[in-house]
Structure 1
Amino acid sequence: MIEVDGSYGEGGGAVLRIATALSAVTSKPVHITNIRSGRPKPGLMPQHLNAVKAVADLSRASISGLELGSTELFFSPNQLIGGDFKIDIGTAGSITLILQAFMVPAVFADSPVKITIIGGTDVRWSPSIDYLINVTLPVLKLMGYDAKPKLVQRGHYPRGGGIFELEIDPVKKLRPLNLCELNFNSINGISHAVKLPEHVAVRQANSAEEILSKAGYKSKIEIYHSQRAMGPGSGILLWTNGITSVSGSSIGEPGKKAEIIGYEAANDILYNISRKSAVDRYMGDQIIPYLALAGDSTIKTSELTQHAVTNIHVTEKFIDKKFHIKGSMGESAIISVN
């Protein structure tokens, strides 16, 4: 039984997600304590509970402590079996954070996997669904990870109701990844507005394009407008068009001008571009378990975060690989594993 202290490092849901995901991959039972103990509302929230449930369903795991507010969990996995899975978070909880846990073991199932998740597609403090589709999945594809995404409906805070489907083809082994330098020709983007006037998405895009043009970069931003949603919301994601991508994003809020949202996203991606690193800080966090499973890999991230350091700590408990970091917290860093 592997022991994991849920309060380690950033002490949030990432410890829980990585620990249960790698437990399912390695068939090593895990005991997690102090789950989110330093947060205003400690323990499992709906989003975290559903992430564990999704991994448990995939791995036919036995679980103790899977209830709202629980700060302790026993997770004992069995075989990874493919099939169709469905998770309804019941809130605007992040769909992408559930997939951060589920996608790691799903690619090693004995047959294809399809998961449908209902929840938040574009919410604060988590990567958007556009980020998953346009940044995360293309990087994982370089490692042999083949997944087909389908965004059915967007969901924003507080109503949620977003619907997302992902089909995953299994592999026996992931390919090593070596990405350090950022190379790209232009910047792509998607600016969306649902249950709001279309001009909101247009103004977000125009604001971002103006900033990027002044910085010397060509951009092409797609406009997404729909009335199909449970509640209103908007946002924008920008990403570099190349072998790998760094990104910039911003999400709408009541009373926040569309021009400000575009401005924030443009400055976010310009910051990441200035770091001259192959992946941004979000991908630098997410990629850690995949690097360990593939082995012999090296990446350069635009910013070393506490999330990445925490993910490395948890990953090394399950996989007999050693990570090496060249760089300081908050700065560009090279992360390697062998």
Structure 2
Amino acid sequence: MASYGLTYDGCNFFRQRLVLSTLSGKRVKIRNIRSKDDDPGLRDFEASFIRLLDKVTNGSTIEINQTGTVLFYRPGLLYGGCIEHDCSLQRSIGYYLEALLMLAPFMKTALKATLRGVTNDPTDPTVDLLKCTALPVMKKFGIDGEGLDLKVVKRGMAPGGGGEVVFTCPVRRTIKPVQLTEPGKIKRIRGVAYSVRVSPQMANRIVESARGVLNKFIPDIYIHTDHMKGANSGNVSFRRSPGFGLMLVAETLEGYFLGAEMTSTPQGQGDPVLPEDLGRDCAKRLLEEVHRGGCVDSSNQSLALLLMTLGQQDVSKLLLGPLSPYTMEFLRHIRDFFQLMFKMDVQKPLEEERKGGDKVLMTCVGVGYSNLNKTLK
């Protein structure tokens, strides 16, 4: 077996490692994947993720041992184009989209990905949240234009799925450095309350309870209700996949977006959730995200830090709220794959300002990443 660049143990942070390997061109070996479990090896959703990577790249070499506990990955060139992928129903489409958002700008041709599966579940970021928070982050780094879009064609709740989304993204040769240090005050809150295969009244009940919390803080609130029925409400053969949920986004005066969401538990799993409780809890979760502050919400910290890393060889600055454990591990992986370290300055709020918790000012000089896959015009 050829010698591999980086070696990791275990199944944690699986996507991070493969995404950064693809962007840096460094080979990676992941071993002891659930080797001590009763059912060792890769899960279906991880195998599906590997198949998706294989579709968007050209020339990648993927080797998995017989038990699925060791993976060798030698990345090829990011190709892009039009792809279709049936995602594993074990995880939602958001699990796969998060990785595609990181890879799409650096492909040879503009990506148009049609993904099918579960659009909304309690585990991963939903398609709605990624559309309202992740795409604006990408625009700040110069990845914009008409080609950047995320569209929900059909909704599909867990466990049955049957949802469909289309993600399109233009390619960029370089990423511009940014100075995102002033979040600004919240000016308005927008949201989507969705219901699938349940009474449309569920969405109205969610909106009412969420507004009951948020109206105390800001007057400019609009929550859209999205009731999908018939063929647009998921897999018809899975009558057992009803559900509802709420996604809220707070927009600041400086044009930053902080998001929060909650989805009902899939039928047959966990305790049932009342629409009123879900709306109220989601509103509180948004207020917590606002309290954490920063120019990027906690679910998109790693995307923003990656784009800073790949920027031109100039200083980029980004103010974040407290770093999530996932982001901390992502920073360690950036150090492994790109030999880049961030300077971190913790900023404590002033007593008289009461602007929430501690903030972290992240500073780095980009590696000057250039998209070698992009065709010259």
> Please, what TM-score do these two structures have when normalized by structure 2?
0.81
Of 302, 309, 317, the match for 2:336? 317
Partner of 2:324: 305
Tell me the percent identity.
Answer: 24
Q: Distance in 2 between matches of 1:39 and 1:306?
A: 24
Partner of residue 63, structure 1 = 62
Matched-pair contact (CA < 8 Å) for 1:51–1:99: no
**8 Å Cα contact 1:92-1:161 kept in structure 2:** no
Q: Quickly say closer, same or farther: Cα 1:40–1:182, change in 2 above 3 A.
A: farther
Equivalent position of 2:243 in the other structure = 233
Partners of 2:37 and 2:308 in 1: CA distance:
29
For 1:334, the equivalent position in structure 2 comes to 361
Pick the aligned partner of 1:107 from 105, 108, 122. 105
Structure 2 CA distance for partners of 1:55 and 1:331, relative to 1, 3 Å: farther
SS in 1 for 2:106: coil
Counterpart AA for 2:282: A
SS in 1 for 2:26: coil
My pick for the range that moved more, 126-135 or 298-307, is: 298-307
Over aligned residue pairs, what C-alpha RMSD do you find? 2.4
Correspondence 1:287-302 to 2 at 5 A: 287-294=304-311, 296-302=315-321
Residue aligned with 1:239, SS: strand
The answer to whether structure 1 residue 86 and structure 2 residue 84 are counterparts is yes
| Change in 2 beyond 3 A, CA 1:72/1:326 | farther
Deviation at 1:106?
2.3
d(CA) in 2 for partners of 1:66, 1:237? 41
d(CA) in 2 for partners of 1:43 and 1:263? 40
**1:267 lines up with 2:266 in the alignment:** no
Label 1:287 to 1:44 Cα distance change in 2 as closer, same or farther (>3 A).
farther
Distance in 2, Cα, partners of 1:98 & 1:38: 26
Following TM superposition, by how much is the alpha carbon of 1:272 offset from its aligned partner in structure 2, in angstroms? 1.4
**Contact 1:47/1:94 (8 A) holds in 2:** no
Q: One-letter code of the match for 1:157?
A: A
Unaligned runs of 5+ in 1: none
Determine if contact 1:114/1:165 at 8 Å carries over to the other structure: yes
Match of 2:8 in 1: 5
Q: Distance in 2 between matches of 1:40 and 1:128?
A: 31
Q: Match for residue 208 of structure 1?
A: 210
| Residues 19 and 315, structure 1, Cα contact 8 Å, conserved in 2 | no
* Contact kept? 1:235, 1:252, Cα under 8 Å: yes
State the partner residue of 1:149. 150
Distance 1:214 1:335, change over 3 A: same
Which of the residues 195, 201, 214 maps onto 2:197? 195
Q: 149-158 or 47-56, which moves further after superposition?
A: 47-56
Give the letter for the 2:278 counterpart: I
Indicate if the aligned counterparts of 2:296 and 2:304 stay in contact, CA closer than 8 A: no
Q: Output the amino acid matched with 2:109.
A: S
| Counterparts of 1:222 and 1:156, CA distance in 2 | 19
**How far apart, in 1, do the equivalents of 2:358 and 2:40 lie?**
30
Compute the displacement of 1:204 (Å): 0.7
The answer to whether the 8 Å contact 1:89/1:119 transfers is yes
CA positional deviation for 1:286: 3.4
Asked if 1 retains the 8 angstrom alpha-carbon contact of 2:209 and 2:276, the reply is yes
Q: Deviations over 1:268-324 (max 9, x none)?
A: 111111233222211113333222112632222223111001111112222132123
Q: Out of 72-81 and 262-271, give the one that drifted further.
A: 72-81
Shift of 1:37: 6.5
Give CA-to-partner distance per residue, 1:211-268, whole Å, 9 cap, x none: 0012345311111001122321111011112311111211113531101111111101
Q: Using the TM superposition, give the Cα deviation of residue 38 of structure 1 relative to its aligned residue in structure 2, in angstroms.
A: 8.6
Matched letter for residue 62 of structure 1: T
- CA 65–160 in structure 1, closer or farther in 2 if over 3 Å, else same: same
Report the TM-score when normalising by structure 1: 0.90
